[in-house]
Amino acid sequence: MSLIEQIRKNNNGIVVAGNHPAILQSILDFDFLSGETEPSVKVCLIANRSTLKLFFGTKEVLIPCVKDMAAALIVAPEAQWLLNLQSGRRVFETTNLFFQLFPKALGAHVFAENVPEKHATDLIALWGDKKIIAGPSGVGILVSGVLKLGASGGVGLAQIAQGKLTQKGSLAVVSTSGGMTNELIVATAHSGKGTSFSLSIGGDRFPITSLSRVLELAQEDSQTKAVVYFGELGGVDEYEIADLVRTKKLTKPVLAYVAGTIDEAFEERMQFGHAKALVARNDESARAKRDALHAVGVIAPETFPEFLEAMKSLPGEVLEDVSASITPLMNRAKSILSTREIVDLESTPEYVSGKKLAKSQSYAFARATLSALLGRDVSDVTAAFTESILTQLIDHGGHVSGAVNTMVTARAGKDLVSSLVAGLLTVGPRFGGAINESARTWLRGVAAGKDAKTFVEEETRAGRLILGIGHRKYRVGVPDPRVEELSRFASLLKKHPHYDFARAVEKIMTGKQGTLILNVDGAIASLTLDILTECEGLTHRELTSLIDAEFFNALFVIPRSIGFIAHFMEQKQNDEGLFRLPDELLFVHSDKKQKKRK
């Protein structure tokens, strides 16, 4: 089995040294559009962070980052490739260490140009015959539909689609020039044949994997039907091609274009772009090399348009006119804060089945909590209800103010306690602190003996909000699952006047607007009042004392502190650096009069 065929069957995990977001995102886009279920980029060597945020399809993923190659081996022991995006002076050490630690790896791409020649020749001596290494310089390696190592084929979604990178073509693309490699990949797509694989040898003077070795790969690959090559004046690469064709080591058709005949118009030899693109002798001129290719039967047109036209006549099946849709990926926008769902917001544990407690458990944490807050032991119903509250209020997503404050503080490098306090300081009547005042409202309403309609009218005339009523997401017909589950506890009580009153108020309010339903704060407050009254024998005076001491808000603060801590730990592990709002989200008000005064 040839190496290219082996790559097509392998799990081609990539270790990345350094960071180039556009290139890395293009690799993940290629993976996704090729039908992979997870990114090929497994780990990045970036010393100052723990994760790198990218997209896999429309979902954000966090690629783990480590400080050294030994740590990368632990994260991705089966990795087959190195994408080295580091500066030229660091290329040798990192690449050499990668192959030492990953002896079964197949190859690498060295992105940097101007790698010290000593380092390049050392890599050739150590690994040139053992591994496939594209570069230094260039755009890397592409095996269509399987592997994208570097910027090969481009870095934009449109380039991936235009070049048909996810479809398995029949033409091998080879060039020292990275830019022309990508141009040829697009050209093969336009010809209808597509690219089987591509390798950009690199424009530095000493490429690690030789042109001859790449052409051997093309000869061995059963899917490759012909070779498309772009060369330029300077160097002797084209003579290698001619020699391989003449000795029949390369028997597949070769289409080549050698750029640079303009050099003949100058009295002195000119440097063209890459380090190798300099004619030192007459036989390194574009025309001399083109003639040498002609002599052995290589198709070597005089002009580039002729070269593109000749591509259509090369052997190979025409690709189906099908490409992966990139439309769903075009409008992606990175989240401001990366956070997971700490708990399933739509799932609630069942504590009541029919009119009985579903489980005979000790509810040890809830009992210990209530014992500390109330100074007494409690009944099973009170303990189970409190357990349900503590479980359901741990988190309500990373977008709420307390979680945001916690995460922003964590990303500023602050410690656990500082970040937790920053989140807790947002608790108040608009966030989390409504349970206490809702309890005061229900207690006052029931004690006054007024009907719900009269109560609502009086509250409205007084300009008071009825805390515990209203929700942004849920409405009539789309109930809050937390409220539905908590409401089952009413069936365990002989009487539940505060809960009944809250529901009666809800009925009046939803008659005005469908979102003015009894929310989780109102449900907790009303049911807690009823449970403490019936099951614990608390009086109106004792309940008032608990409200004044903010007992009801403690039922929010205790579990949500766990959620805030979870978000803190998540941010520390993600390690995305200092948080800053994107400029486009800021509203800047400018006062023209003030500008005139200035």
**CA 399 → CA 35, 409, 578, distances in Å?**
32, 14, 18
The conformation of residue 320, written as its DSSP 8-state character, comes to P
Task: Identify the three-state secondary structure at position 428.
Answer: strand
| Rounded distance between C-alpha atoms, residue 425 and residue 405, angstroms | 9
Phi first, then psi: what are they for 515, rounded to 5°? -90, -5
Residue 11 CA neighbour count, 13 Å, CB half: 8
> Where would I find the beta strands (DSSP E) of 399-556?
none
* Dihedral angle over CA of 214, 218, 221, 223, nearest 10: 130
Number of other CB atoms surrounding residue 578 within 10 Å = 8
CB of 377 within 8 A of CB of 371?
yes
| Rounded distance between C-alpha atoms, residue 379 and residue 460, angstroms | 38
CB of 77 within 8 A of CB of 99?
no
**CA 138 → CA 46, 153, 170, 215, 505, distances in Å?**
22, 11, 22, 17, 70
* String of DSSP letters for 162-182: HTTTTS--SEEEEES-HHHHH
Closest CA to 316 of 176, 181, 191: 191
* Dihedral angle over CA of 474, 480, 481, 482, nearest 10: 140
Residue from 109, 274, 471, 567 carrying the catalytic annotation: 274
Q: What are the residues facing 519 on neighbouring strands?
A: none
| Rounded distance between C-alpha atoms, residue 391 and residue 342, angstroms | 11
| Rounded distance between C-alpha atoms, residue 364 and residue 348, angstroms | 19
Task: Identify the three-state secondary structure at position 458.
Answer: helix
Q: What are the residues facing 107 on neighbouring strands?
A: 81, 132
**CA 527 → CA 441, 442, 484, 489, distances in Å?**
13, 10, 12, 8
Residue 560 CA neighbour count, 13 Å, CB half: 26
| Rounded distance between C-alpha atoms, residue 52 and residue 21, angstroms | 9
Residue with tokens 């052995």: 296
CB of 256 within 8 A of CB of 298?
yes
Whether 274 is a known active-site residue: answer yes
Phi first, then psi: what are they for 66, rounded to 5°? -130, 170
Phi first, then psi: what are they for 587, rounded to 5°? -105, 115
- CB neighbours of 143 closer than 8 A, spacing ≥ 6? 4, 7, 8, 196, 197
Phi first, then psi: what are they for 122, rounded to 5°? -65, -40
Q: Which pair of structure tokens corresponds to residue 451?
A: 């009907």
The conformation of residue 578, written as its DSSP 8-state character, comes to S
Catalytic residues: 274
